[in-house]
Amino acid sequence: MKILITGANGQLGTDLLLRLDKSGAIVIPFDREALDITDARAIARVVGSLKPDAIINCAAYTKVDLAEKERDKAFSVNRDGPALLARTAQGHGAQLIHISTDFVFDGKKSSPYNEDDQTAALNVYGESKLAGEIEIARRMSEYAIIRASWLYGASGANFVKTIIRLASERERLNVVYDQVGAPTSTTDLSDAVIALLQRRFDGTAKSGVYHFSNEGVASWYDFAVAILNEARLHGLSLKCRSIEPILSKDYPTSARRPAYSVLDKTKIKKACGLVIPHWAAALKNTMSALYGKSYA
């Protein structure tokens, strides 16, 4: 099996490559410089010459707050890029697996969102990702979109690394507790992507949207507390003595975020026979990957 990966230098792309290394598949990674997903001619040339069996799109514009100012850029990468990939994949009979986000929802529910729930993005990033999903569904008869939430991994910039950096600089941190979701490690999401791709090839997983995150529920405050507990177990020197739970209204950001964005994972678990680790266990694994297995 020949798999083309876009956005291969991102946090998900990096871990996906590591996981696919052991799969026996021929994997052809492209970072943004090698393949810009908004460049129609480049996509046609690369896909036409390599003839991949599958394309996994890890490329995205992911700067949620900046997207409020850079609407056109966000839509170009998150809507037009996936549209081009979908058209080309459809033309070449390749599978497409695309990654989307919990930010397609407005967070007004109080029970986990399933794939059929009404979408209503609160910010430009979410709108642009939703537009990408719609373009793929319009252009392909068979596809797979995985919506994930609160992604972090050992590579790239993310909440885990930001909290550790801030905690090494400041004595006190304020973190919001009225936004609730589920942190998702890029290694566990990579395993889910690979499992879904295999089921798409053997015909046992249907075309459509799937939700994935680690198990459990957390606020950003809960997640930050767990990150710092893990950091201390790994012997990191932290200046921070207290983390204060605060309300979102006291931490204004350019982009509005859903208050509740827990995803219901029943569909992907059934389709792929997945047993998904709890977010706290997944965090331990990532912290060990980052800082070594220095505690018992």
Ligand X SMILES: NC(=O)c1ccc[n+]([C@@H]2O[C@H](COP(=O)([O-])OP(=O)(O)OC[C@H]3O[C@@H](n4cnc5c(N)ncnc54)[C@H](OP(=O)(O)O)[C@@H]3O)[C@@H](O)[C@H]2O)c1
Q: Judged by CB under 6 A, which stretch of 9-17, 21-29, 172-180, 263-271 contacts ligand X? A: 9-17
Nearer to ligand X, 216 or 238 (CB): 216
Q: With b meaning 16 or more CB within 10 Å and e meaning fewer, what string describes 188-205?
A: bbbbbbbbbbebbeeeeb
Write down how long the chain is.
Answer: 296
Minimum CB–partner distance for residue 171 and ligand X (Å): 27
Q: Binding mask 206-245 vs ligand X (x if CB under 6 A, - otherwise)? A: ----------------------------------------
Q: Is 125 a catalytic residue?
A: yes
The least distance separating ligand X from the CB of residue 198, rounded to whole angstroms, comes to 20
242 backbone dihedrals φ, ψ, rounded to 5°:
-150, 145
What whole-number distance in Å separates Cα of residue 104 and Cα of residue 136?
A: 15
* d(C-alpha 246, C-alpha 217), whole Å: 18
Residue 163 sits in the site that holds ligand X (CB under 6 A):
no
Contact flag: residue 188 with ligand X (CB under 6 A): no
Q: Is residue 183 a contact point for ligand X (CB under 6 A)?
A: no
Residue 286 touches ligand X, criterion: CB under 6 A:
no
- Give the x-and-dash track for 62-81 against ligand X (CB under 6 A): x--------------x---x
Instruction: Please work out the total of residues on this chain that contact ligand X, with binding judged by CB under 6 A.
Output: 25
Rank residues 33 and 202 by Cβ distance to ligand X and give the closer one: 33
Which pair of tokens denotes residue 191? 């395993």
Instruction: Say which DSSP state 171 is in.
Output: S
Q: For 174, list phi and psi in degrees, rounded to 5.
A: -110, 125
Nearer Cβ to ligand X (148/255): 148
Three-class SS of residue 136?
A: helix
Write down the catalytic residue from 125, 143, 152, 177.
Answer: 125
Q: Is 119 in the site for ligand X (CB under 6 A)?
A: no
Q: Which residues pair with 146 in a beta bridge?
A: 99, 210
Find the shortest distance in angstroms from Cβ 98 to ligand X. Answer: 7
State whether residue 74 is helix, strand or coil. helix
Question: To the nearest whole angstrom, how small is the minimum distance from the Cβ of residue 10 to ligand X?
Answer: 2
CB of 196 to ligand X, least distance (A): 14
d(CA 125, CA 166): 25
Instruction: List the alpha helices (DSSP H) in 154-246.
Output: 159-169, 186-201, 220-233
Q: Which of residues 130-149 bind ligand X (CB under 6 A)?
A: 148-149
Nearer CB in complex with ligand X: 61/220: 61
User: Binding ligand X by CB under 6 A: which of 156, 208, 216, 245?
Assistant: 156
Residue 186 CB, nearest approach to ligand X (Å): 7
Do 11 and 158 meet the contact criterion of CB atoms below 8 Å apart? Answer: yes
Please tell me the distance from the alpha carbon of residue 223 to that of residue 201, in angstroms, as a whole number: 36
- Residue 100 is encoded by which pair of tokens? 């989307």
How far from chain centre, in Å, is Cα 97?
12
The footprint of ligand X (CB under 6 A) covers 6-7, 9-12, 32, 36-38, 58-62, 77, 81, 99, 101, 129, 148-151, 156
List active site positions. Answer: 125
